[in-house]
Amino acid sequence: MTTSLTSVPAAAAVLPAVELDYVASCELPMPWAKFRLHAFTEPATGKEHVAITLGDVANGEPVLARIHSECLTGDALFSLRCDCGPQLEAALQKIAEEGRGALFYLRQEGRGIGLVNKIRAYQLQDAGADTVEANEALGFKPDQRNYRLCLPMLQHLKISSLRLMTNNPRKITAMEQLGLKVVERVPLVITHNPFNERYLATKAGKLGHLF
């Protein structure tokens, strides 16, 4: 049985609601702790999103949290072109160390352009474009992600206050626009390598990320 969860924040009432259906939850033993995995489906697109929690996140205290967009190449294939995989691992480790927290894994590959288009963008980057230039050359915005997907998941988990693990100020703004309180930004410092130096420089220079 699924539960329909629709987000209609007062501060963003002019935007279309994002509907997610809660499906099920289960235990998820990981190298750092035994987490809990919560599955949601997005009827409008058919995409599946998950939340990973540890401890009592519904007790009203600010929750150490990470909003992480899917990156097959970085998260699963260990690509050095980005910092996604190391950020994912670091966030889960921090949550385990504290014994409480949540990670929201959104299926928004390639900053929302999809896996195949991300590979097309990589091809353009191989020829000299940066990440922003590559997306725009393909007819996309530099970042097409929709963080409003988080609201129904947060509401389901009864989370209203966050200590957000991010280097991206736009995520903080997005959460505040949804009526959530971000009491702290927790940086995720990842070691640079020769393959992601330009990627990280573009994040900082063109997308406003803080390192």
127-169: pLDDT as tens digits = 999 999 999 999 999 999 999 999 999 999 999 999 999 999 9
Q: Would you state the structure tokens that stand for residue 48, as one six-digit string? A: 């599946």
CA 93 – CA 95 distance, rounded (Å): 5
Angle at 172 between CA 208 and CA 111, to 5 degrees: 60
What is the number of structural domains in the chain?
Answer: 1
Residue 116 lies in a domain: no
Closest CA to 146 of 170, 119, 121: 170
69 is in an annotated binding site: yes
**How does pLDDT run across 74-123, given as a tens digit for each residue?**
999 999 999 999 999 999 999 999 999 999 999 999 999 999 999 999 99
Per DSSP, the chain holds a count of helices (H) and strands (E) of 7, 8
67 is in an annotated binding site: yes
**How does pLDDT run across 19-33, given as a tens digit for each residue?**
999 999 999 999 999
Q: At 176, is the pLDDT very low, low, confident or very high (cuts 50, 70, 90)?
A: very high
Residue 151 lies in a domain: yes
Residue 117 lies in a domain: no
Residue 14 lies in a domain: no
What pLDDT sits at residue 55? 97
Residue 153 lies in a domain: yes
Clarify whether 81 is annotated catalytic: no
Residue 92 lies in a domain: yes
Domain region containing 173: 21-108+145-207
Clarify whether 145 is annotated catalytic: yes
Question: 83, 130, 145, 148: which one is catalytic?
Answer: 145
Please state the φ and ψ torsions of residue 82, each to the nearest 5 degrees. Answer: -135, -175
Q: Which helix (H) or strand (E) holds 101?
A: strand 101-106
Can you give the pTM of this predicted structure? 0.89
Give the CATH number of the domain where residue 46 resides. Answer: 3.40.50.10990
Residue 137 lies in a domain: no
